[in-house]
Amino acid sequence: MGEAGQALIEIEGLTKVFYTDEIETHALSGVHLTIRKGDYVAISGPSGCGKSTLLSILGLLDSPSAGKYHLNGQPVESLDFGARARIRNREIGFIFQSFNLIGDLTVYENVELPLTYRQKMPSSERKPRVMEALERVGMAHRLRHYPSQLSGGQQQRVAVARALAGHPSILLADEPTGNLDSHNGEAVMKLLHELHEEGATICMVTHDPRFVQQAQREIRLFDGKVVAEEDLQKQEATV
Amino acid sequence: MSGLLQDIRYALRQLRRTPTFSVVAGLTLSLGICASVAIFAFVDAALLKPLPYRDASHLVDVTERTALFPRGNLSYLDYVDWKRLNTVFSSLDVWNGSGYLLQTPNGAVPVSAVRVSDGFFRTLGVKPTLGRDFYEGEDKVGAAPAVLLSFATWRNRFGAREDLVGQPISLSGKAYTVIGVLPKDFQFALRGRAEFYTALQPAMECEKRRSCHNLYGVARLKDGVTVSAAHADMNTIAKQLEAQYPDSNRGQFASVIPLSQSIVGDVRPLLLMLLSGAGLLFVIACVNVASLLLVRSESRKREMAVRGALGA
């Protein structure tokens, strides 16, 4: 999923301000962040600290009020709607807390969905990618099932497959275990860990300290600012 | 193509999942579409489609006009003069409605008919599907009585016998030779469902007097002649006749209008109003369904957001 060590995401002085009834809310204030290819980063912090806002901006679902954002060396902070959608589709794989599978689509169709938005990708090319992704998460036997026929853990695995199918540069996971019991949560985290071992770049928002420990690096946010950045692998090595 | 199929599959699943919505939306649209299509079909047939005759735009309705009657019947003698003197028509013919008693094995049956001058069908551009048209001069007094049958009459009353052509039939006690059968799709709307078309021989007392008006004219404009030019030419002739026959033709002018306008008559504004109403009904149906979809789209906001996140 990329050449390890190269900067994939570079953020400088990122600020996000929300305006409501003449009240300014600084969700993010001057965030600096670099994520290299092959990194496994956990963003943690208390509720309302700006984790999800940061992830939305990283995923090009939202745009910053100020600051610079380079993805794969390209400035992306001020792209138009269509260009952002194209980059989201090709470069970013999303894993949501509530899975967000589409109930009227089968498992196969859900995983295929982001690929159908690539206009020049024929069905014959999509199929092996979908099957590969589903096999990777162990859900290839549930192709024709609908999300409602799956458990929460299975749904999240399908969601991971959907994120993987497009061969993105980075997986963005927003509380991927938030809606799962501990057993399924651990299974999903194990899957993410394996994907990282295979070279995937992952950026995960979580407030569960157990899962933070699985990442290589933890970025702690508080009141919209990065208050701590720890290299967890080094820490483990020194311990 | 595969994307289209996927969209269709998805749409069908959604319809199946929300049957009430699907039925209500379907019924609303069906009502709007059916009403619009029904009225449009009517308007199309009456106003938009050309009459089922050759070069129908060249056909005009020719009548006399007085201060009292904007469109009055022609007298036979005026017709003869108009036909002879005009320079704007390639042909001018007349007809009038009639009725006969058809002699059948079960007795005499009243039937609807039209008396037509010999060139009537040539003017319309209609050829019999069986047999022949009236010969020139077959509408003169003394010519052998001849009759053309409508297709439905030939089929229903005479069993579609091809050997009927050349045979005599009795109409009001007089023998008429069947000379042909008109095409299946032929209709002459001004005379509804006439069954028999006989040659108009001016034997009636009325047709011998210029002051007696009992005919309708139908003419084919020469190429390049407009309706208004024809109207003007016919009025010039009418003035000549007025000067020539002041007793019978005082205050009598001519009226020339498109044949289609004469057939549709006063119904045109009503039809247009109906069409507007049907169009409005269709718009209301669409707005209703759009409102339903809008309400429903609220429940699909999350799905739209997910699709957007995936790059839609």
Q: Identify the band that residue A5 occupies on the pLDDT scale cut at 50, 70 and 90.
A: low
Q: Which amino acid is located at A236 in the chain?
A: E
Q: Is the pLDDT of residue A238 over 50?
A: no
Residue with tokens 């009353």: B157
**Do the chains contact at B311 and A114, CB–CB below 8 Å?**
yes
Q: Which of A187-191, B1-5, B92-96, B139-143 has the highest mean pLDDT?
A: B92-96
pLDDT value for A235: 53
Select from B14, B17, B310 the Cβ nearest to the Cβ of A113: B310
Residue with tokens 């745009």: A63
* pLDDT, tens only, B251-297: 999 999 999 888 887 777 888 888 899 899 999 999 999 998 888 88
Reported as half-sphere exposure (CB side, CA atoms, 13 A), residue B304 has a value of: 6
Q: Is the pLDDT of residue A51 over 60?
A: yes
Q: Is the pLDDT of residue A234 over 60?
A: no
Tell me whether B301 touches chain A (CB under 8 Å).
no
Coil, strand, or helix at residue A136? helix
Q: Which residue of B has its CA nearest to A62?
A: B309
**Do the chains contact at B302 and A100, CB–CB below 8 Å?**
yes
0.80 exceeded by the pTM?
Answer: no
Tell me whether B312 touches chain A (CB under 8 Å).
yes
Express as a percent the part of chain B with pLDDT over 70: 99
Dihedral (CA of B132, B137, B143, B149) sign: positive
Which residues is B12 bridged to in the sheet? none
Q: How close, in Å, is residue A239 to chain B by CA atoms?
A: 40
Select from A104, A117, A123 the Cβ nearest to the Cβ of B17: A104
Query: Helix A152-165 and helix A107-116: axis angle, to 10°?
Result: 30
Is the pLDDT higher at B132 or at A182? B132
- Which among B198, B196, B192, B188 has a CA at the least distance from the CA of B218? B188
Q: Is the pLDDT of residue A68 over 90?
A: yes
A172 sits in which H/E element: strand A170-174
* pLDDT, tens only, B113-154: 999 999 999 999 999 999 999 999 999 988 999 999 999 999
Q: How close, in Å, is residue B311 to chain A by CA atoms?
A: 4
Distance (Å, whole) CA B277 – CA B95: 37
Cβ contacts of A90 on chain B, cutoff 8 Å: 311
Q: Is the pLDDT of residue B49 over 50?
A: yes
| Mutation site, A52, A63, A76, A100, interface B, largest B CB count within 10 A | A100
E-state strands within chain B: 59-65, 74-75, 89-104, 107-116, 130-131, 146-149, 168-171, 174-181, 196-199, 213-221, 253-258
Q: Is the pLDDT of residue A239 over 80?
A: no
Q: Is the pLDDT of residue A23 over 70?
A: yes
Is the pLDDT higher at B183 or at A236? B183
Select from A102, A118, A123 the Cβ nearest to the Cβ of B303: A102
Q: Is the pLDDT of residue A2 over 60?
A: no
Cβ contacts of A63 on chain B, cutoff 8 Å: none
**Interfacial A residues in 58-117 facing B (CB < 8 Å):** 59, 61, 85-86, 88-90, 94, 96, 100, 102, 104-105, 109, 113-114, 116-117
Calculate the average pLDDT of chain B: 90
ipTM computed for the complex: 0.85
